[in-house]
Structure 1
């Protein structure tokens, strides 16, 4: 049966030391062996979201969500937002940006860029990282200068609409920029006795290795920059106060009567009404 490794949100502790081989293609393994294989911060690791691709192209914030056990707790909420994006592919996905091989000195757990490997002693692991695509938010022109979308007047109403529709207790919002999407693949090779007969893959230190077909580790890595937005930056625009029209010859259009003056006025109006009322006479 084909076994596919589960994705790990956080790299496991590096409890297994690697043993270097005579072949220079097989390297020593340590916690920082693959740090240079990707650029930017791992969004999946930062947020604890198993599929960080869902967070792209949205304003996100920490709010109430339904957990896997059916309870309500804190989690990442996303509000889709249409923004101009520039997409580029620096290299072909068929070209590896990073490729390394290492051997574990003893059986245990190894974490490679967030993917947990249950490494077996003397097995060789081949790790390949490929850059799939890059994506960044386009700059918005404003006169002779350009600025980020979240600062521009053009997209301010869009941000306001999203921010002001969220619960008032939420103050911090995030979007992700300068995105890079990588594909991490891991293959496992086991020792083969009897020289090169029936073996393929790698040959190191006079030992033949054969790829284990039912082992495959795959992970999508999304990296980028986090942009923090605060609710106060997108408060509703104030309603302008309209001054009353100026009436020629009037010093005040409307004034408030003092209590005593109001009572006297009411009495005068009532008395005048009585005097003006018609008198009914018997025929």
Structure 2
């Protein structure tokens, strides 16, 4: 497996693959990989002839006071994991490679970025769309695999690719959970034992809403109230809501497709989770 740090070098590699008629998948990550990330790599390996994993902790998607400096970095272990999963290359650029001096162009995110995370973290998605656009320009892949745990990010990337005519197919991977239901996240390692027990309320709240919906409850206010009650033990609830799964716009009466999404702080750790409930 190759490890490449140069944008020009990785672009040349991908065009050589494409020139031989091969399909190429890219899996963008910020490293600190867990089994959820590995599942995305495996999905790409199954789908494409060659898979490239990017590892880059993108500073422009972190606001002041967020965890950029302490975000976990486990590069050697990450490389071993993606190699075992079948990737042929890791692209791990420096900050100056991606944002050279004088770089002042950013990609404004689409409308689907405005609610939820767009309110809680208003600078976040501009950083996401910018770095993803730059990666897609450097890695002209046929497919890109994104996880569904960052559900709004997935919808933002899908909209950007459509709006800006990127010639790449976005593939969604599923949410991988721990045996007790906690969605896998690089930030789970920040949780104390007590915090981790409290964090289980996120997946429990989603399951509860899904069960109520399957039982015939269609009043969004009642469904959201039930979720919020389940989350009473978290340190700070940012949102627990049910929205249109495509537009992320609110609804008053449950209709398909509906997505339940949660963002909460448990201890000092910010966690997100989601579930299709109808």
Give the structure with higher Rg (CA): 1
TM-score by length of 1: 0.21
Higher RCO (Cα < 8 Å, 6 or more apart): 1
Structure ranking higher in helix proportion: 2
Structure ranking higher in strand proportion: 1
TM-score by length of 2: 0.21
